Homo-oligomer: A and B are copies of this chain.
């Protein structure tokens, strides 16, 4: 086992690699989603610091020490989150000091911070809060502007090599503030390159379909790496470039441009955003640009499309309202779908989608009306119309059109994909692709 010696002052050398260790039984029990690891990974990646491993471990002396030592062996910097609370279970500060070969001592400065924290809120510290003023002698103490648990940054001498161990609190608001205000400025000094990104968001091709069309482009890049990320209903292409921190936005843009142009020439029609905007945001912008209004006639999505387009505060510029016609009676009475259509073709049919769109356009008095009618399941399907059958209709000044889609997955998934499909249908119409 390699031994460490803690050093002061913490100076900082070039940091290339880091690992994140999340400490907390609540994570192992699945009670908490590990947003800290995600947030720190994003920050490290943008600083050009590679992170090859992350770990989660409980509030247990042996296991925490084992994981910490393994990570310090591999990486230049190890960041822990969690286990700095006031209770007996919270052992991260104690273990980190033990590994660093230093001791915890009562910090007058931290005592003052804790006193101020409670005074500001008109409350009294509990007895166990003073444990949080028990901090390592040989470490830079990190102020917590959101809570009572200070953090620590150790510089460790390991057989001549300098390693760094940052100990941060677990509550995400405290962790993020401490990282941004105190660790990040120091890390910037310890790195000279940053990772720059461009996000191309696509819809309509699966991950395999998209990468199949781009294989050669993906593999012939030297400076820029291209990675596809599939999420519900869409695939995002992330282009990354590692380059000096002082690059201007224009220089960054110039380096990305040739690759973006290559990708666009192959799959341009599937790309709905080049700047990481959401599909509903893009559709909204297109509508506002055209000074056009929109409304929906929703059946199986039952309000999801309307809720999606109103996520952006400016939605009222283009979105007037919608009819959620869940029952067939309302499809008839409000949207004017004829009972013949419902009887002969069914509520989930091309004729019904067309009539719903036309009816909504007239009732809502909008330029564009989009209808969604489908079988989200698990009930209501037939051999001809399996679960996942969805018709999207659209009515505008030029007329009406509709398209059939078959969507896999469960009820919730079908409704989500139908929502995105309806918005993409509108996007294509606004761009005159359909």
Task: List the B side residues contacting A211 at CB < 8 Å.
Answer: 86-87, 128
Asked whether, in the complex, the Cβ of B129 is within 8 Å of the Cβ of A208, the reply is yes
Number of A residues near B (Cβ < 8 Å) is 106
Contact indicator per residue, chain A 147-179, by CB within 8 Å of chain B (1) or not (0): 010000000000000000000000101000100
Segment from A135-143, A262-270, A327-335, A425-433 that makes contact with B: A327-335
Asked whether, in the complex, the Cβ of B307 is within 8 Å of the Cβ of A304, the reply is yes
Compute how far the CA of A185 lies from the CA of B159 in the bound complex, rounded to whole angstroms. 51
Asked whether, in the complex, the Cβ of B26 is within 8 Å of the Cβ of A227, the reply is yes
The reply on A212 being an interface residue by CB < 8 A is: yes
Compute how far the CA of A88 lies from the CA of B326 in the bound complex, rounded to whole angstroms. 45
Q: Which of A353-406 contact B (CB under 8 A)?
A: 363-365, 376-379, 386, 406
Segment from A1-9, A40-48, A102-110, A186-194 that makes contact with B: A40-48
Asked whether, in the complex, the Cβ of B41 is within 8 Å of the Cβ of A28, the reply is yes
The reply on A67 being an interface residue by CB < 8 A is: yes
Question: Nearest residue in B to A209 (C-beta to C-beta)?
Answer: B126
Asked whether, in the complex, the Cβ of B207 is within 8 Å of the Cβ of A85, the reply is yes
Compute how far the CA of A379 lies from the CA of B309 in the bound complex, rounded to whole angstroms. 16
Would A121 and B408 be within 8 Å (CB), given that A57-B53, A146-B413 are in contact? yes
26 contacts across the A-B interface (CB closer than 8 A): A26-B227, A29-B45, A30-B41, A30-B43, A32-B229, A33-B33, A33-B38, A34-B37, A53-B56, A53-B57, A86-B211, A120-B408, A121-B408, A127-B212, A128-B208, A128-B211, A302-B307, A307-B415, A313-B379, A313-B411, A319-B326, A320-B327, A320-B330, A321-B323, A321-B325, A323-B323
| 15 extra interface residue pairs, beta carbon distance < 8 Å, beyond A28-B52, A33-B35, A121-B407 | A29-B51, A30-B38, A33-B38, A171-B230, A296-B324, A298-B306, A302-B310, A303-B304, A303-B307, A303-B310, A304-B307, A306-B324, A313-B379, A313-B411, A321-B334
Which A positions have Cβ atoms within 8 angstroms of B? Answer: 25-35, 37-45, 51-58, 60, 63, 67, 85-87, 117, 120-123, 125-129, 146, 148, 171, 173, 177, 206-209, 211-212, 227-230, 232, 238, 296, 298, 301-307, 309-311, 313, 315-316, 319-327, 329-330, 333-334, 363-365, 376-379, 386, 406-413, 415
